[in-house]
Amino acid sequence: MAPKILWVALPLLLYAVWLAAMRWRGRTPGRLALNVHTSVLLLCYLLSTAGLGVFWVANQQLPVFDWHYLFGYATLLLVFIHLCFNLPLVLNWLRSRAPAARPASAPAGAGPRGAPALGMPLAVLAALAAAYFLGLRHGAGDLPLHVDAGTASLAGNAGDAANTGGTGSIGGAAPVLRYHALSSESRSSVFLRAPGIEWGDAPEPFKRYPNARHVALPAASPASQPLQAAMRGPASASQRRLRLDQLAQILFLGAGVTEHRGGRALRAAPSSGALFPSELYVAARDIDGLAPGLYHYGPEQHRLAWIGPLPAAEDALGAPAARDADALLVLSAIFRRTGYKYHNRAYRYATADAGHLLENLRIAGHQAGMHATLLPQFDEALAARALAIDGVEEGVLAMMALRRYGPVPASMPGAAPQPGSQEYSAAAPASPVPQAPQASSALGATGVIHRATSLRLPPRAGGHTETAAQPYGSFAADALPPGALRLPAPLAAPASAHAVIAQRRSVRRYTSGPVPLAALSTILADMAQRPQLSEAIRIDLVVNRVAGLAPGLYRYLPQHALLPVAKGDFAARARQAALAQDVIGDAAVVLVLSVDTGRALAHGARGYRHAFLEAGLVGERWLLGAIAQGLAACPVGAFYDDEAAALVQARGRWVLHFAALGQPAR
């Protein structure tokens, strides 16, 4: 299929060809004819861009707005040409206060004083082209990269950590500090930065294995476990093997196609711009009805593609903590799916998207009676080699083990051992295999930060650690700080996990009605799970319309309480911080997730990835909790970083995620 810009420009190209043919035949149209022609084209493009805008806004399909702005650019070009052709008439009218007839001696197609009519348009176009050329090279959004002994790092210094709460001296965190500063948005950054690489057109939305042997999966069927129970633990302590139909249910609720709308296949987990960079793989060891081996899940046709047998070497997948798992789910990201639109911010969005999907997998795994555990430590390069992916264009982001037996109590997995310990080594990120050492820069900053947050495990890595789910309604018993407000007891919601996940959609329009305090309390209680990968996430709320709660800024406490930070109307500030998006400004409540930079990076760059994954996990529980309470929600990853931090008074913290909540507009 031809690029969209070609289809948008096709009428202009055809008209240019016709105009060139007429000129070659000596029948160049006069000024009046050209004026009429461009006016007709202008009208067509104006109607197209307005129609697309109204249509997509009405259908809440903002991700396909690229058609809208491409038509908008073509419209501006025609307006420019139209004004240039009419400029002599305007100047004459201003001089004489009346339309002036062209002197009989003036040559056809000439402007005032005989200047060629096309001279000014060509000069302006040349100036714009020069500005564009210079813009690509001024403040380009790439990072200084050097390859040393098979590892990638970013050039940076302690000065990059000015706004990170003093983490500039943390070993191994310099790449993160540099990348986060580069990918941060502000009102001036759009004028100071340009993409560092050529991302190209949008890749295919689905990864296919046409020559592989496929395993058709049974259709997902609703299960009986309520969402709230599935968030907190497996349905039962059953020792039965995981069945193929249960695996199909898990994969569908994680990454399956739940709806087709506007030419897009929407999935069970949300994704920034509906671009869905995540891919799911299964290392099946002990699944009833499925031969052991490596598989890729194809959501397009809900089937598995056989990649190959399980590696003979015990740790060939790079996940020694999952040696005894019944199945290992491996989540990767095709970064160009997100990067072609969001450029240097792609890694942030891809990891947050992965967190949303992982939470769905965790809930679905619990529903199937399995213990679903995220692995904090694994070797990306070994996993990429086993799955036959390059590790650069498509990189491994997360792994989840599915087991029949219960979790082993352990310390927080995010508090990983110091680099160089016997348990694992993060002294250098793993080099992509089989790519050449410099290949990690193929995606610019995105490739470098992925490599910087990767680990290289030694041949003998230790056992696994798991986390126990926090029991429902069990909150920290610490005394509340002065002024904190104890939230009411959460409500019981009978909605099943399958029903909630399958019907979840991002809703961007809300009524002016308030959210019940009990519903907000329940959503927050459902979010209050023990951290899976990072305990550095903080929850702030911008409350605009909650029954029984004064508008203002609040901080959620582990004791299931809200601490007032500032009273007043913060809706306008939240809207402006979120790039003036109405979905945030009109919301009854805005969730803002931030990370304590010092805690997240205390053990190196890996904590940066964990923070975004954890924010995605928490954010997904917010979205699902809203559906279970009959409300609507929408995640938002686009915001001005400095204004978002100022909004929630996040000194020494990075804001990672926004999400809206409100009464849905029917």
What is the pLDDT at residue 414? 37
DSSP secondary structure letters along 530-567: PPSS-S-EEEEEEESSBTTB-SEEEEEETTTEEEEEEE
pLDDT-derived band at 129, boundaries 50, 70, 90: low
Q: Average pLDDT of 50-60? A: 55
- CA 7, 9, 12, 18 torsion-angle sign: negative
What is the pLDDT at residue 186? 87
Reading the block at residue 225, the tokens are 């476990």
Instruction: Indicate if the pLDDT at residue 29 is higher than 80.
Output: yes
Instruction: Indicate if the pLDDT at residue 67 is higher than 90.
Output: no
Q: Average pLDDT of 64-78? A: 66
Residues 6+ apart with CB under 8 A from 187: 640
Q: Which residue has the higher pLDDT, 77 or 21?
A: 21
Cα separation of 559 and 384, whole Å? 41
This prediction has a pTM of 0.77
**395-399, 453-457, 513-517: lowest mean pLDDT where?**
453-457
User: Containing H/E element for 626?
Assistant: helix 606-628
**69-78, 238-247, 368-377, 519-528: lowest mean pLDDT where?**
69-78
Q: Which of 475-482's residues contact partners 24+ apart within 8 Å by CB, and which partners?
A: 475/525, 475/528, 475/558, 475/559, 475/560, 476/557, 476/558, 476/559, 477/559, 478/558, 478/559, 480/557, 480/559, 480/561, 481/557, 481/563
What is the pLDDT at residue 441? 55
Instruction: Indicate if the pLDDT at residue 72 is higher than 60.
Output: yes
- In contact, 456 and 425? CB cutoff 8 Å: yes
**211-220, 454-463, 582-591, 643-652: lowest mean pLDDT where?**
454-463
Cα separation of 624 and 631, whole Å? 10
Reading the block at residue 550, the tokens are 């004064």
Cα separation of 601 and 598, whole Å? 5
Residue 607, phi-psi category: left (phi > 0), alpha (psi -120 to 50), beta (remainder): alpha
pLDDT-derived band at 599, boundaries 50, 70, 90: very high
Q: Average pLDDT of 607-627? A: 97
State how beta strands 303-308 and 485-486 pair: unpaired
Q: How far is CA 15 from CA 122, 480, 497, in A?
A: 18, 72, 56
Averaged pLDDT of the chain: 80
What is 214-452's CATH number, 1.20.1260.120, 3.40.109.10, 3.40.50.150, 3.40.640.10?
A: 3.40.109.10
Cα separation of 185 and 645, whole Å? 12
What is the pLDDT at residue 2? 53
User: Containing H/E element for 647?
Assistant: helix 641-647
What is the pLDDT at residue 434? 27
- CA 368, 613, 454, 533 torsion-angle sign: negative
Give the residue from 309, 464, 470 showing the smallest Cα distance to 402.
464
CATH topology of domain 485-662: NADH Oxidase (3.40.109)
Residues 6+ apart with CB under 8 A from 269: 254, 255, 278, 353, 356, 357, 359, 360, 620
Give the residue from 509, 495, 494 showing the smallest Cα distance to 663.
509
What is the pLDDT at residue 417? 34
pLDDT-derived band at 64, boundaries 50, 70, 90: very low
What is the pLDDT at residue 427? 34
Number of other residues whose CB lies within 10 A of the CB of residue 213: 11
Q: Which residue has the higher pLDDT, 40 or 636?
A: 636
Instruction: Indicate if the pLDDT at residue 512 is higher than 50.
Output: yes
Could you give the residue ranges of the DSSP H alpha helices within 453-532? 497-503, 517-527
Instruction: Indicate if the pLDDT at residue 421 is higher than 50.
Output: no
**13-17, 296-300, 585-589: lowest mean pLDDT where?**
13-17
Q: Average pLDDT of 403-417? A: 51
Domains 214-452 and 485-662 share a fold: yes
Domain borders along the chain are 4-97+117-137, 140-195, 214-452, 485-662
Chain segment 454-465, per-residue pLDDT in tens: 988 765 544 444
Chain segment 365-388, per-residue pLDDT in tens: 999 999 999 999 899 999 999 999
Apex CA 328: angle with CA 327 and CA 331, to 5°?
140
Q: Average pLDDT of 544-561? A: 96
Cα separation of 240 and 519, whole Å? 36
pLDDT-derived band at 150, boundaries 50, 70, 90: very low
